[in-house]
Amino acid sequence: MRAVRYHEFGGVEMLVVEQVPDPHPGPGEIRVRVAAAGVNPIDWKVRSGALREVLPVELPAVPGRDVVGVIDEIGEGVQGVSMGDRVFGLGGVTGATAELAVLSAWAHPPTTWTDEEAAGAGLASVTALGGLKALGPLRGRTLLIEGAAGGVGSAAVELATAQGATVIGTAGERNHDFLTSLGAVPTTYGPGLAERLATLAAPTGVDLALDTAASGSLPDLIAIVGDPARVATIADYTNAHRLGVHLANAENDSTLLSEASELGRQGHCTPRIERTYPLERIAEAHAHAERGHTRGKIVVCV
């Protein structure tokens, strides 16, 4: 099969498209013929070598964790799917940006989702739902989402509003119309946030906060909601334990994928895609992701 690989840790110039051996599913896994794969911050952080002590990978490695595709091989013990089913889901830390990928968690996407949307849904939806569930019931609560325009942030906005929360989202001014379209009240991040929220969330204030940006704002978020137990982060590993906030890790959880899919079927959740790239332009896709400040997800079409 054709796949993207890097043989050494480093910059985007390490990414090459080449022929590699076909992978095969083990027990409880499936293999899909990939239509599209998501590009996530974890992909370029692993590729750069920045996480080699935390998430060691064997080189050469195929970047990517979430895909959409059609099942063409089923591992031992797998039930509920058939050959030829269209699914989206998650594999390991690496292995997705290829013609064939092995998944350990999956769900059937809504028929209304394009391949690009379904490819961008896997990691963003399980990460967003993990962060939201750590905060408890959302109905009737006012939730602040820090970094609301990114892949996880935009998913969290839609998932939270679908559960009855009033959402205020931080983003750069160029993304404020985008946040409004998702159902959030937009505001800028940075100095003066507490004062802006005092007006936007009057008279009751902000109940809960979800950090998707790891911008160093956790102390401010705790001060805003008044209790570290009412703050969750999906990104700031360094400060989460020190400050006592919830740290939500992205789990390969088919139940969460199915929950996101069902909300999609109900029209409450549509993954937002900023840009797509062909497989041959994977270096551009990673460079775009590294620059940050994306509006939704970046996807590679295979």
pLDDT digits over 235-278, tens only? 888 889 899 999 998 889 999 999 999 999 998 889 989 899 99
Which numeric CATH code is attached to 126-247? 3.40.50.720
Q: What pLDDT, on a 0 to 100 scale, did the predictor assign at position 19?
A: 98
Token output for 74: 């089923």
Q: What pLDDT, on a 0 to 100 scale, did the predictor assign at position 38?
A: 96
Domains 2-122+270-301 and 126-247 share a fold: no
The CA distance from 244 to 70, in Å, is 42
β-bridge pairing 105-107 and 100-103: unpaired
Residue-wise pLDDT tens digits, 173-190:
999 999 999 999 999 988
Average pLDDT, the chain: 94
User: Which three-class secondary structure string do you get for 175-239?
Assistant: HHHHHHHHCCEEECCCCCHHHHHHHHCCCCCCCEEEECCCCCCHHHHHHHHCCHHHEEECCCHHH
**Mean pLDDT within 101-106:** 98
- pTM of the predicted model as reported, rounded to 2 decimal places: 0.91
> Would you say 60 and 76 are in contact if contact means Cβ atoms under 8 Å apart?
no
Domain ranges of the chain: 2-122+270-301, 126-247
Q: What pLDDT, on a 0 to 100 scale, did the predictor assign at position 90?
A: 97
Bridge partner list, 33: 70, 100
How many CA within 13 A on the CB side of residue 130?
A: 21
The CA distance from 265 to 263, in Å, is 5
Q: What pLDDT, on a 0 to 100 scale, did the predictor assign at position 228?
A: 95
Alpha helices in the chain (DSSP H): 41-48, 115-119, 122-133, 151-162, 176-182, 193-200, 218-225, 237-243, 254-265, 282-291
pLDDT exceeds 80 at position 78: yes
> Would you say 13 and 283 are in contact if contact means Cβ atoms under 8 Å apart?
yes
Q: What pLDDT, on a 0 to 100 scale, did the predictor assign at position 216?
A: 83
pLDDT exceeds 90 at position 52: no
Q: What pLDDT, on a 0 to 100 scale, did the predictor assign at position 238?
A: 84
Residue-wise pLDDT tens digits, 188-197:
988 888 899 8
**3 state SS of 153:** helix
**Mean pLDDT within 288-298:** 85
Q: Which fold has domain 2-122+270-301?
A: Quinone Oxidoreductase; Chain A, domain 1 (3.90.180)
Kindly indicate the confidence band of residue 281, based on its pLDDT and cuts at 50, 70 and 90. very high
Residue-wise pLDDT tens digits, 107-148:
999 999 999 999 999 999 999 999 999 999 999 999 999 999
The CA distance from 293 to 67, in Å, is 22
**Mean pLDDT within 47-60:** 90
Q: Which of 234, 206, 227 is nearest to 131 (CA)?
A: 234
Q: What pLDDT, on a 0 to 100 scale, did the predictor assign at position 213?
A: 86
